[in-house]
Structure 1
């Protein structure tokens, strides 16, 4: 049976590894320096000598970068080369857990946006009329102190009455508070809710955000597929 040339290639230069990925030879040398590739042997004149194992390590690292980001990818490869396989797999599992939480958050946001959109009927007094913190707290069945906590977390950004200095909540503020209330009851942290509300502000409202949810879902799907590819590469590197 003929041997597989990919498993027998030796005496590769940094440029040989770099060419496959459109990198510079210096980038390959830096990845070795940082422990993302195993240490290379040297020729008597000091030149690095890479093998197919280094090529597989580079493919694995770059796949991990696309799936988990540079920091996590580097930590995984460092753990592998230090013999800490458990740490490497823990980082992988943590990444999958984070993606699952993002999917659950997306589902919660989509449900909350649909709820708020359905509840926004013409003539609703929440519309253009400003409300005080007491009015809003009463509407949501919360305390003013809770709303102040949400404001400190960046979830609410009410204006101030120039004459009295009191908080004034307009329609968009009421929308943000209602969305926060829905997500809070779902167990989401204030920091996560603030991020979601910030996305709604950027999108221009719940209706505009609803149009972006498909794109959000696609990005999560793309990341999930990248994680699957990275897991396969990591397996091939660990079990050649």
Structure 2
């Protein structure tokens, strides 16, 4: 076809609509598009390659990142383009690490009933523990237990006579769950549904399945990113 490409030719080659090609050009992801003497855009095969690269990058990194990367490429800022990609890879790697920590935490929580029972055996009355006893047993500060309670993650009862908090075996189990999940970097709002699920199901099978599903998502995105990088490599200037 040579360099006499029309807008519709670029659209067909990229598998998108003519309007999408115009939007890509408006977003700056196709680089310079010179005009012919009659005023029409003078497209080339490179613009089709850039449209394909944008689509592939957007599938793996999202439109915002894809636009940022390709604009940087057109501006001659390859270092900036690579930095934008590296930031996404670092964030995804960090999530994989969080999932690994969460899986280890869930493995420990699978034995939580046994652990909580062993800890509760040291309570002064054999059935409930004070806030100080739970804090000592778990190796956390009493203030942390109070913060978790204020966030709705723990529900200790109050002693009718003294008004002091008393923690049952189930409360200790919940505190242990919060402690482990906090160690993965999870925020309190993210921990709440996990603790609720543990209370409802008394096991972690469903939570482990959710971790596996999230890993599947990460793997699928990683595959899309590899495809996007391959397309990007094809439109980069030579080193």
Aligning the two structures, in what range does the TM-score lie when normalised by the shorter sequence? 0.7 to 0.9
Partner of 2:18: 25
Cα separation, 2, equivalents of 1:221 and 1:136:
40
Q: C-alpha deviations, 1:83-135, integer Å up to 9, x for none?
A: 11100001111111112111111111111111101233499498xx9987656
Structure 1 gap ranges (5+): 1-7
Cα displacement (A) at 1:61 = 1.1
Q: Give the C-alpha shift of residue 176 in structure 1.
A: 5.4
CA contact (8 A) 1:199 1:209 kept: no
1:35 deviation in Å?
0.9
Shift of 1:235: 1.1
Alignment TM-score, normalising by the size of structure 1: 0.74
Q: Taking structure 1 as reference, are residues 199 and 160 closer, same or farther at Cα in structure 2, changes over 3 Å only?
A: closer
SS of 2:93's partner is helix
Distance 1:122 1:32, change over 3 A: same
Contact 1:66 1:226 (C-alpha < 8 Å) held by counterparts = yes
Aligned twin of 1:221: 219
> Please, what is the CA RMSD of the aligned residues?
3.6
State whether structure 2 residue 202 is matched by structure 1 residue 197: no
Q: How many equivalent residue pairs?
A: 225
Which deviates further from its counterpart, 216-225 or 130-139? 130-139
Does the aligned pair in 1 maintain the 2:148–2:154 contact within 8 Å? no
SS in 2 for 1:232: helix
Map 1:1-240 → 2, pairs under 5 A: 9-121=2-114, 124=117, 136-150=134-148, 156-158=152-154, 177-185=175-183, 188-189=184-185, 192-194=186-188, 196-197=190-191, 200=194, 206-239=204-237
Per-residue CA distance 1:191-220 (angstroms, 9 max, x = gap): x44465256368666331112222111111
Q: Is the 8 A contact 2:154 2:174 kept in 1?
A: no
> Relative to structure 2, which stretch is displaced further, 68-77 or 132-141?
132-141
- Larger Cα Rg: Structure 1 or Structure 2? 2
Q: Which stretch of structure 1 is more off in the superposition, 40-49 or 110-119?
A: 40-49
**Given the superposition, is the C-alpha separation of residues 170 and 26 from structure 1 closer, same or farther in structure 2, using an over 3 Å criterion?**
farther
TM-fit CA distance, 1:231 = 1.5
Task: For CA contacts below 8 A with separation 6 or more, give which structure has more relative contact order.
Answer: 2
